[in-house]
Amino acid sequence: IEQTAYQNDKLAMLGKISASIAHEIRNPLTSIRGFIQLLRPHLVTLGKDEYARIILTEIDRANDIIYEFLNSSKPSAPETTVISVSSLLKEVVLLTESEALMKGCQIILHTDEEPPTFISVDVKQIKQVILNIIKNALDAIDEREHDDVSGRIEISTQLRDKHVNICISDNGGGMDQNTLNHLFNPFFTTKESGTGLGLSVSYRIIKNHGGSISVDSQVGAGTEFVITFPKLHMPEI
Ligand code: ADP
């Protein structure tokens, strides 16, 4: 959809207003959280610790939503750096390995492309995207804990003429058609304490990079996300 300059101004203003409201809501939440913690011993005495636990979880959820919202409403122009796909993926896997290990899940990275493939991206933003996808995969694997399958996340790359695909697959619970229809919508979540912002933010980041994202999933079998980026053609040295 084409946007006029007027619409852009309005959107930018709306973004600023909502960001400052979000910011202002954080302060009262912090003091509510503090006072509930002070009250907690009294609630325990009354046998109502469960109430305190729910209040704290819900405050944390509101904070997560605000945090992700503030993150996603920052200026969208990416700060680009040239990086090889394999080193980017290795860095992200390193960040998630301990969480995966704790959940008894294996992360397998297949990226030994020679020569390396380079992309020009905002490294922080793209790491965030891949982290989101891996975290979702870990959650989906958690869901089928009782199934006695060992969790497995595989990350691989496919080189095309002008593009590079990053494929992230998991053998978690998969998604039904309703989830597939809505998963990129802001605030859509099937998790008790989800924000529903991870994939909508990821979608926007990838679009801003001139890339695309697609998903293939089957209930009970698993899910595969494919992110496509324009490949950078390095001059011969
Ligand atoms: P959140 O993780 O907070 O729910 P997301 O936007 O990251 O928000 O994801 C939206 C929804 O997409 C999730 O609640 C889940 O239902 C679904 N989803 C995403 N990734 C996967 C996956 N790998 N396997 C199964 N479901 C997934």
pLDDT tens-digit profile of 105-144?
999 999 867 788 899 999 988 998 999 999 999 999 988 7
Q: How many CB atoms lie within 10 A of CB 214?
A: 10
Ligand 1 pocket test, candidate residues 153, 187, 189, 205, most atoms within 8 A of CB: 189
Are 215 and 223 in contact by the 8 Å Cβ rule? The answer is yes
pTM above 0.90, yes or no: no
How far apart are the C-alpha atoms of 72 and 172, rounded to whole Å?
A: 27
Looking at the CA of residue 170, tell me the nearest atom of ligand 1: 23
ipTM > 0.95 (yes/no): yes
107 lines ligand 1 (CB under 6 A): no
Mean pLDDT, residues 145-161 taken together: 86
Ligand 1 centre from 189 Cα, in Å?
6
Q: What's the angle, vertex CA 142, arms to CA 141 and CA 145, rounded to 5?
A: 95
**Residue 27 pLDDT > 80:** yes
Ligand 1 centre from 184 Cα, in Å?
9
128 lines ligand 1 (CB under 6 A): no
**Residue 28 pLDDT > 70:** yes
